[in-house]
Amino acid sequence: MGVSVAFFDVDTQADFMLPTGSLYVPGAERIIPNLEKLVRFAVERGIPLLSSADAHPSDDPSFREWPPHCVVGTPGQRRIPATDLPDAMIVPNRPGAFSQPETWPRQMVIEKQEYDATTNVNFDAILRGLAPRRFVVFGVATDYCVQSTARSLLQRGFQVDLVTDAIRAITPEGGRRSIEEVVAAGGRLITTQVATSEWAR
C-alpha cells in the first residue's frame, strides 16, 4: 500500500478508559474528545487506523500482577464508541489470522496479550502491507502499552509522533518517565491540534 502516515490507537477499551473499568487509567475519560477528533480525522482523510486491543483469556497469567481486565467477550474488552468503527477488521494474535485485504479497512484492530502491540504474530505482515513511514500514537496507558508500542516502532526504524493530550498514564511519574524514554529513543511530541493540521495538507 505504502502510506506516509498511519494513526495508532493504543488500547482505548472500556476496562482502561472508563471509571467503571476494572483497570481504569486515572483521568482517561478526559482524553475521549481528543481521541474522537483523531479517529474522525483519520477516517475523513483516509489515513489508516491501527488499534491495539488487549484480548485476554479468563486465566491469563498477567492477572497475577494486574486485576482481570479485557477478558475476551466481556463488556470491558470492548472499545469505547469514540474509537470503535463498525467495519473494523479484527486480527487475533494467532498465526495466519491476517491476510492482505484487497481494500484496506478504515480500522484494523490488532489483538494482543502483552504490553507491546508488535507482539501480535501478524504484525510484521500488517506492516508489509501498509508500509508507513510515520506513526501517530495515542491511547493508554502511557507508562505501559503506549510507551512499549512507541519504542518498538522506533526500534523498527519508523518515525513516531506521540500525541501528548491524547494519552494518560497510571501514575504521573510513570507517565513523565515514559514520555522521556520515547523522546530519548527518537520520538516527537505533538498535540491533537498539530496531528490534525499537519496531516490535513
Which residues span the domain enclosing 106? Answer: 3-198
The answer, yes or no, to whether residue 1 has pLDDT greater than 70, is no
* pLDDT at position 8: 98
CATH of the domain at 150: 3.40.50.850
- DSSP conformation letters of 58-74: TT-GGGGTS---SBTTS
Q: Give the Cα separation of 3 and 195 in Å (integer).
A: 16
The answer to whether 77 and 55 have CB atoms below 8 angstroms apart is yes
Confidence class for position 199, pLDDT limits 50, 70, 90: confident
pLDDT digit string, tens, across residues 136-149: 999 999 999 999 99
Query: What's the pTM?
Result: 0.96
Q: Give the Cα separation of 17 and 12 in Å (integer).
A: 6
Cell representation of residue 144: 505501559
pLDDT digit string, tens, across residues 6-23: 999 999 999 999 999 999
Find the angle CA(69)-CA(25)-CA(108) to the nearest 5 degrees.
Answer: 65
The answer, yes or no, to whether residue 50 has pLDDT greater than 80, is yes
* pLDDT at position 2: 67
CB atoms within 10 A of CB 77: 18
* pLDDT at position 201: 59
Domain count, the chain: 1
> Between 1 and 41, whose confidence is greater?
41
Q: Which residues contact 44 (CB under 8 A, 6 or more apart)?
A: none
Q: Give the Cα separation of 159 and 150 in Å (integer).
A: 9
* pLDDT at position 93: 97
Q: Percent of the chain at pLDDT above 70? A: 98
Q: Percent of the chain at pLDDT above 90? A: 91
CB atoms within 10 A of CB 102: 5
Residue 74 burial class via C-beta count within 10 angstroms: exposed 0-12, middle 13-18, buried 19 and up: middle
pLDDT digit string, tens, across residues 55-109: 999 999 999 999 999 999 999 999 999 999 999 999 999 999 999 888 889 999 9
